[in-house]
């Protein structure tokens, strides 16, 4: 449990640093702490519904990916996996414990362990790929934020690394036989080098495993793949809707532009090189929303968005996992992985 406390403390320190920077540079005061509750009642109701739907949409993703591999994922198993995945993804660097947490919770609810690993892996990888592709599409259409050089460098570097990691196994899953042969040739070439044999072997083994796992999602047929895609879009749609509604509530007049900026910002929070994007995501409010909001309101929108879609998930995870258990098993699984 010491590791868990360290993860949470690291997230709090990083998020606190980002909040301090954003507040200091935008003129946000203590009076603004209750800005959320001063919004119209209808806005608060819609935000509350969207926060619940975010969990529901993620639960559908687990159930549909489960169907794709021939396994039934109960609603309770999907709920456990969703809450655990959110909690551990946001507090660990690179979301390192997100998938292991989901695997443990699915396994505890009767899903075979090998299938649980495939479900958690497939859901996470394909979902992140959809978000990144949407962000690229938004930027290509000119609906995204006008980022300065520093933020753009962090974003493009992070999204480029993640995109490369995701697209290789996804493309490989479409043509698995040819991809596995290519990986085998790559492994032979890498092992022929004088250095890095162990790293090369692990890298190729990881690629091979990813391709083989994702290829299994095709066994469910085209309909279930379409359902998985729709579930991903619904989940990301809810995430973007929360940010867009907040931006509109604080004065953004162009909904399409708010949607575009919110989509790119959501992708940024996923690829930022800190646990759950903590620190960096809180500090860049004006950089993303500055074209449609003043710096003060841009920071408030970002902080409220983070509160509803990250901090809230951590609080829910602490309470829920404390009741249903599984935390120690998740940490032990990662330690032995």
Residue 94 in tokens: 């690179």
Cα separation, 86 vs 312, in Å, equals 10
For residue range 251-277, what is the model confidence (pLDDT) as tens digits? 998 899 999 999 999 988 887 778 778
* 144-192 tens-digit pLDDT: 887 776 766 766 676 666 666 666 677 776 677 777 888 888 778 777 7
Spatial distance between the Cα atoms of 78 and 97, rounded to a whole number of angstroms: 17
* Model pLDDT, residue 242: 97
CA distance 98 to 102: 6
Quote the tokens at residue 161.
Answer: 């690394």
Q: What is the pTM of this model?
A: 0.83
What tens digit of pLDDT does each residue of 22-74 get? 777 777 776 777 888 889 999 999 999 999 999 999 999 999 999 888 889 99
Residue carrying the six token digits 């998020």 = 15
* Average pLDDT of span 97-118: 89
* Per-residue model confidence as pLDDT tens digits over 128-157: 888 888 888 887 787 888 777 676 676 667
- Consecutive H or E run containing 287: helix 285-289
Whether 337 has a pLDDT exceeding 60, the answer reads no
CA distances from 136 to 107, 144, 160, 177, 268 (A): 35, 9, 11, 29, 11
Three-state DSSP at 282 gives: helix
CA distance 325 to 331: 12
* Cα(55)–Cα(59) distance, integer angstroms: 6
Residue 337 DSSP code: -
Residue pair 299/19 in contact by the 8 Å Cβ criterion: no
Give me the torsion for CA of 271, 277, 282, 284, rounded to 10°: -20
84-88, 176-180, 313-317: which has the minimum mean pLDDT?
176-180
Residues 196 and 192: their CA atoms lie apart, in Å, by 10
Q: Which residue has the tokens 């495939």?
A: 118
Region of poorest pLDDT, from 12-21, 210-219, 302-311: 210-219
CA nearest neighbour of 280 among 5, 96, 9, 20: 20
Query: DSSP labels for 17-30?
Result: HHHHHHHHHHT--G
Q: CB-based burial of residue 182 (10 Å sphere; 0-12 exposed, 13-18 middle, 19+ buried)?
A: middle
- Which among 153, 103, 164, 93 has a CA at the least distance from the CA of 128? 164
Considering only CA atoms, give the Rg of the chain.
Answer: 20
| Domain range list for the chain | 37-140+219-336
């Amino acid at each position: 449990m010491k590791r868990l406390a360290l993860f949470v403390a690291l997230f709090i320190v990083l998020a606190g640093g980002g909040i301090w920077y954003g507040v200091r540079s935008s003129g946000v005061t203590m009076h603004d702490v209750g800005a959320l509750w001063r919004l119209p009642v209808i806005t608060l109701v819609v935000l509350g519904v969207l926060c619940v739907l975010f969990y529901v949409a993620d639960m559908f993703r687990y159930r549909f990916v489960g169907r794709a591999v021939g396994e039934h994922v109960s609603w309770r198993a999907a709920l456990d996996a969703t809450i655990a995945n959110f909690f551990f993804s946001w507090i660990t660097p690179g979301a390192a414990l997100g998938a292991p947490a989901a695997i443990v919770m699915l396994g505890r609810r009767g899903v075979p362990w090998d299938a649980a690993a495939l479900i958690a892996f497939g859901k996470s990888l394909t979902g992140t790929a959809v978000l990144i592709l949407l962000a690229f599409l938004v930027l290509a259409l000119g609906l995204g934020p006008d980022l300065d050089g520093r933020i753009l460098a962090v974003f493009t570097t992070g999204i480029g690394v993640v995109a490369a990691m995701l697209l290789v196994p996804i493309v490989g899953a479409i043509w698995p036989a040819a991809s596995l042969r290519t990986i085998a040739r790559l492994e032979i070439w890498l092992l022929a080098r004088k250095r890095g044999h162990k790293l090369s072997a692990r890298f190729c083994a990881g690629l091979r495993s990813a391709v083989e796992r994702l290829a299994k999602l095709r066994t469910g047929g085209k309909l279930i793949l379409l359902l998985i895609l729709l579930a991903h879009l619904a989940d990301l749609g809810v995430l973007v809707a929360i940010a867009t509604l907040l931006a509109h509530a604080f004065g953004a007049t162009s909904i399409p532009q708010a949607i575009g900026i919110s989509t790119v910002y959501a992708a940024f929070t996923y690829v930022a090189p800190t646990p759950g994007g903590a620190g960096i995501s809180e500090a860049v409010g004006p950089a993303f929303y500055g074209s449609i909001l003043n710096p003060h309101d841009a920071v408030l929108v970002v902080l409220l968005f983070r509160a509803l879609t990250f901090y809230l998930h951590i609080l829910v995870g602490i309470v829920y996992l404390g009741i249903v258990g599984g935390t120690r098993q998740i940490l032990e699984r990662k330690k032995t992985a």
